[in-house]
Amino acid sequence: MRLSMIAIVIFSVLSVQGAYARAPVQVERSHADKSARVVSRKPFRMPASEQRNLAGNPSWTAPQKPFRIHGDTWYVGPRGIGVFLVTAPTGDVLIDGGVPGDAPLIEANIRSLGIDLHHIKWILNSHAHFDHAGGIAQLAYDTGAQVIAGAADAALLERGGRDDPEYGDRFPFPPVQVARTVADGERLHLGDLVLTAHATPGHTKGNTTWTWMSCEVARCLHIVDIGSLSAPGYTLVGNRNYRDIDEDFRRSFSMVAALPCDIALGPHPEMVNLWARVAKRRRGDANALVDPALCRTYASESRASFAAELAKQRAGAVSGK
């Protein structure tokens, strides 16, 4: 069973590479903004390190029927990666793009909601890692949308995840042309829809938590797509590529804990136990996705695991391990 799942994933990864090999290069859309240009001349080749990572995470490419989170906020990603669509009469906003090769799945989900891809005006990014930015180049090309990201992640997006401070060249993705960068607290207005960028650096330097309000009839709720606050395998002591990593993470824990937060979402659904809450809602608890304490809970759990890892690395540094 496990082997056959891996075989399916490897097959889909190879198909993805095939798809990229056929993708047009250096094409400009006459009606679209410059952000929709395909910036890479080279077809994307996924290295073995990334193929192995994907094979170990089959949910990142697994289909998931799209569904309404609340009001105009929809889940449109694969099962294992949070990708969200916020719709508005003046244009829609997509947040993140899954792994390289997830774009067709995300686009099919959006179309199945009756939404025209060209109605998407912006693609926002949570952070410049291949599991959230991997499909963005394709999505930007297909929609004509502008890509907007935290200022400190723009260069990493544009070099397709290469030379990542923690991962080097192990997890690249098709390079993304960033049309606009945002600073901490910056608000984006699209008609009545307002999305706010909160800089939550650490996981990447430009890691961004996005917040907005979604209303269902008269019930308006604060939605928060929390930027990842994990540090998987990161060097926390003496990190020459990221000297402020400790301070940045600490500030980000406090930032997320302080946000008004009715429905917490995340780039990885398990960050906020999303599927258990969705299942509970399906069983009849209409409020199962609403938990104003969840941003605080996630921040404090992340702070605790960060502190434990930091203590471990400091002890190792002292003992010379």
Task: Please report, as ranges, the residues that interact with Zn ion according to CB under 5 A.
Answer: 129
Q: Which is nearer to Zn ion, 153 or 262 (CB)?
A: 153
Q: How many CB atoms lie within 10 A of CB 62?
A: 16
* Cβ proximity of 73 and 85 under 8 Å: yes
Q: Which is nearer to Zn ion, 38 or 136 (CB)?
A: 136
Q: Which is nearer to Zn ion, 129 or 205 (CB)?
A: 129
Q: Which is nearer to Zn ion, 272 or 290 (CB)?
A: 272
**Angstrom distance (rounded) from CA 205 to CA 197:** 14
Active-site residue identified among 96, 153, 268, 298: 268
First and final C-alpha spacing in the chain? 40
Structure-block tokens of residue 106 = 């995300």
Q: Which is nearer to Zn ion, 131 or 262 (CB)?
A: 131
268 assigned to active site: yes
Q: How far is the CB of 227 from Zn ion (least distance, A)?
A: 9
**Angstrom distance (rounded) from CA 191 to CA 2:** 47
Q: How far is the CB of 240 from Zn ion (least distance, A)?
A: 20
234 assigned to active site: yes
119 assigned to active site: no
Q: How far is the CB of 207 from Zn ion (least distance, A)?
A: 8
Structure-block tokens of residue 137 = 């180049």
Active-site residue identified among 70, 72, 129, 164: 129
Active-site residue identified among 72, 127, 153, 262: 127
Cα–Cα distances (Å) from 162 to 44, 116, 167, 174, 274, in that order, read 12, 32, 8, 10, 30
203 assigned to active site: yes
Q: How far is the CB of 161 from Zn ion (least distance, A)?
A: 10
Is the sign of the CA dihedral 114, 120, 125, 131 positive or negative?
positive
Q: Which residue is nearest to Zn ion (CB)?
A: 129
70 assigned to active site: no
Q: How far is the CB of 247 from Zn ion (least distance, A)?
A: 19
Active-site residue identified among 234, 248, 262, 298: 234
For the residues of 7-49, what is the DSSP string, one character each?
A: HHHHHHHHHHHHHHHHS--S---TTS-GGGS---SSPP---HH
Active-site residue identified among 75, 92, 203, 298: 203
**Which residues are the active-site residues?**
127, 129, 131-132, 203, 234, 268
